[in-house]
Structure 1
Amino acid sequence: MKKRNIKNTDLSVAPVNFGGNIFGWTLDEKQSFEILDKFTYAGFNFIDTADTYSWWVNGKGGQSEEIIGKWMKSRNNRHNLIISTKVGSETKEHGFDISRKHILKSVDESLQRLQTDHIDLYYTHFDDHKTPVEETLSAYDEIIKAGKVRYIAASNLSTERLKASFEAAEKNNLPKYVALQPHYNLMEREGFEKNYAPLVKQFDLSVFPYWSLAAGFLTGKYRNETDFTKSQRGEGVRKYLNEKGLGVLRALDQVSAKYNTTQGSIALAWLLANPLITAPLVSATSESQLETLFNAPNLELSSDDIDLLNKASQ
């Protein structure tokens, strides 16, 4: 499988980024190990998590990192993997927190849970709007120089704070973000394409979109309200069950039939056909869902296919 370089780094990743938010939530430890084994056996090497996953289960998070850490230790495969995690969880006194104090504390806790001595890609998960960007980047500079983190990236930053971060990094010789993790898929296009794509080009960022399959809607399994009971995420796709959403599903049905593959694989292939996208972030809880991920990088959509999907999703 042809790997893709994360821009401005020496990291190469397979073109699908596995989302670890399901570990300790919809998958227990044993099931998580099985999925991770199959994912990496197929040649994929890029795993994403956060210090807050899965806080919605126990109110504090950390389960996902712990499971990944136990799995890497048991398989002795850390050297084969690119691991990303995030900082910026809420604290009582601060809200979303990317202060120096919180970063220095959080990185050590993540390293301990992951049972590793370094994090390849460390994200600002949420922007707190209180901490100066210079303080955040200086803290990242400390942990990079200490060997705890290799590169930094941004997730839910406003365009203004993202630009301010690059200006501060340039002015003060501080680390620069190398990647962006935005909300982007066939059902959610405007925010990225209008606001962030110009900055991605300007700052030469790699892009790893989250919710690449729109919480499962783009797999085609939700066609009416009775389908919402099919998974724990069912209610989350209600907003897509409208004229536009059904039109996108019809387009996916047409293109997937042409290639004899799944709607989800086509939705991911649409992302991968965009030169700005490096590796979509997506989860899987079964072998059939893994096949959807595995097939996507092998699909080369025609310009007609892409036009059809673009028109349906506008």
Structure 2
Amino acid sequence: MTRIGRSDLDVFPLSLGGNVFGWTADREESFRILDAFHGGGGDFIDTADSYSAWLPGHTGGESETIIGEWLASRKPLDMVIATKVSKHPEFPGLSPRNVRAAAEASLARLGVDTIDLYYAHYDDPDVPMEEIVAGFDDLVRDGLVRYVALSNFTADRIRSWVELARAGGSDLPVAIQPHYNLVHRNVVEETIIPLAEEFDMSLVPYYGLAMGFLTGKYRSTVADEQSSPRARGAAKYATPEGLRIIDALERIGAAHDASIAATALAWLRAQPTVAAPIASASKVEQVEDLLASARIELTGEQLAELDRVSAWSPSS
């Protein structure tokens, strides 16, 4: 188990991504995935109120609804549910009134009394930061939310949030959710991890498998319009540099009897301040691999090799 920042949330060191629920995994398959994750020791689920508003005929909240129905059906103990606000079509942005309405709608869909971890999904420059911070703090004080977190915020805006919260006696964010993986390192390692260390916050990174590239299944830059969204997203990484990372993951994984994907997530989990990478499964057969990643302990030499093969040039 791992603790998220200064909170009392002790979680399994992998978060199951709920973005696929109601999208590439229908309700029945989503239930099987959730059952397998929970049965294997998983207790940390990540979703957002906007999942999956991008699909024709969807309005947003489909993922939360499926998770809520699963929680009501299975009644699991000690699950930690994280969701997000700012991108639902009915609740765009981070004005205090909007955030409260969105939180209440998420609580109803999830069927819970309190959201364990509530992310500001994206920054909102149209709302003064003082108002955003106060709005989230009110949710904590009123018992709708246990802990506040930030997703897709720059380091400067995270610092501004924390400083305003401290000055006003507001609840401090405990987690940051950035895009971070072996093929996307520099911004996070240069700017976000130092900030997380300074303010005792944890990272819960998304795109831990680089849209599927770090599973090793996509080794060509060719992806036509008939390919899946996942394949098209992964294809851009299938460069000679990217494929060297896959080769190293495959070799190191073999030493642990582990897959490429599990090894990539194990590297991510070992990075400073990372509490639990987020990874999704569209099929129940993929869950075992995700769970395995949380139990792999890479050696210092193996971590150094992956660092070298995925090296980037720090920005000037």
Q: TM-score, normalised by structure 1?
A: 0.94
Alignment match of 1:184 (pick from 180, 184, 191): 180
- 2:54 alignment partner in structure 1: 56
* Mapping for residues 103-114 of structure 1, pairs under 5 Å: 103-114=99-110
Letter of the structure 2 residue corresponding to residue 305 of structure 1: Q
Partner of 2:34: 36
Shift of 1:227: 7.0
Cα distance in 2 for partners of 1:108, 1:90 equals 13
**Structure 1 residue 231: Cα displacement:** 4.1
Q: Which runs of 5+ in 1 are unaligned?
A: none
Q: 95-104 vs 276-285, which deviates more?
A: 95-104
Which range moves more in the overlay, 130-139 or 39-48? 130-139
1:136-155 equivalent positions in 2, closer than 5 A: 136-155=132-151
TM superposition shift of 1:225: 4.3
What is the DSSP-based 3-state SS (H/G/I as helix, E as strand, rest coil) of the residue aligned with 1:193?
helix
> Cα offset for 1:142?
1.6
- Give the C-alpha shift of residue 287 in structure 1: 3.7
C-alpha distance in 1 between matches for 2:201 and 2:157: 15
Distance, in Å, in 2 between the alignment partners of 1:223 and 1:61 is: 33
Match of 1:251 in 2: 248
1:112 Cα deviation (Å)? 0.7
Contact 1:98-1:136 at 8 Å conserved across structures = yes
> Which residue is 2:303 aligned to?
306
Structure 2 residue aligned with 1:4, among 2, 5, 11?
2
Amino acid of the residue matched to residue 266 of structure 2?
A: A
1:171 Cα deviation (Å)? Answer: 0.9
C-alpha displacement of 1:296: 1.1
Partner SS state of residue 161, structure 2: helix
The change in CA–CA distance for 1:44 and 1:27 in structure 2 (over 3 A counts) is same
Question: 2:65 aligned with 1:71, yes or no?
Answer: no
Moved more, 202-211 or 82-91: 82-91
One-letter identity of the residue aligned with 1:260: D
The question of whether the paired residues in 2 share the 8 Å contact of 1:16 and 1:280 is answered with: yes
Comparing 180-189 with 298-307, greater Cα deviation is found at 298-307
Q: In structure 1, how many angstroms separate the alpha carbons of the residues matched to 2:241 and 2:26? A: 35
Residues 202, 96 of structure 1: alpha-carbon distance in 2 compared, 3 angstrom cutoff: farther
Are residues 91 and 290 of structure 1, via their aligned partners in 2, closer, same or farther at CA, if it must alter by over 3 Å?
A: closer
Is the partner of 1:136 in helix, strand or coil?
helix
Instruction: Write the letter of the residue equivalent to 1:177.
Output: P
Matched with 2:165 is: 169
Do 1:253 and 1:263's aligned partners in 2 also have CA atoms closer than 8 Å?
Answer: yes
Structure-1 separation of matches of 2:292 and 2:181: 17
1:166, distance to aligned residue in structure 2 (A): 0.8
Matched, 1:206 2:205: no
Are the aligned partners of 1:8 and 1:178 in contact in 2 as well (CA < 8 Å)?
A: yes
User: How far off is 1:180 after superposition?
Assistant: 0.4
* Per-residue CA distance 1:81-113 (angstroms, 9 max, x = gap): 000000112669xx9510111101101110111
Q: Is the deviation greater in 43-52 or in 252-261?
A: 252-261
Q: Is the 8 A contact 2:22 2:52 kept in 1?
A: yes
Work out whether residues 137 and 174 of structure 1, in 8 Å CA contact, stay in contact via their aligned partners in 2: yes
Q: Deviations over 1:215-257 (max 9, x none)?
A: 1100100012467777441101122011211111111121112
The Cα offsets for residues 166-196 of structure 1, whole Å up to 9 and x where unpaired, read as: 1101111111110000100000000100111
TM-aligned CA deviation for residue 11 of structure 1: 1.1
- DSSP 3-state at the match of 2:175: strand
Letter in 2 for 1:106: A
Residue number among 93, 97, 106 corresponding to 1:97 in the alignment: 93
**Within-5 A mapping of 1:290-305:** 290-305=287-302
Amino acid at match of 1:190: N
Q: What code does the residue aligned with 2:64 have?
A: E
Q: Deviations over 1:26-54 (max 9, x none)?
A: 01111101110110011110001000001
Q: Which residue, out of 273, 276, 280, partners 1:276?
A: 273
User: More helix per residue: 1 or 2?
Assistant: 1
Correspondent of 1:133 among 129, 133, 150: 129
Quick one: percent identity of the two aligned structures?
41
Count of residue pairs the alignment pairs up = 309
Point out the more displaced range, 175-184 or 249-258: 249-258
Farther off after superposition, 228-237 or 5-14? 228-237
**Does structure 2 retain, via aligned residues, the 8 Å contact 1:221–1:227?**
no
Maintained 8 Å contact 1:91/1:97: no
1:23 corresponds to 2:17: no
Q: Which has the higher contact order (CA 8 A, sep 6+)?
A: 2
Q: TM-score, normalised by structure 2?
A: 0.94
| Cα-to-partner distance string for 1:199-228 (whole Å, 9 max, x where unaligned) | 011111011000000011001000124677
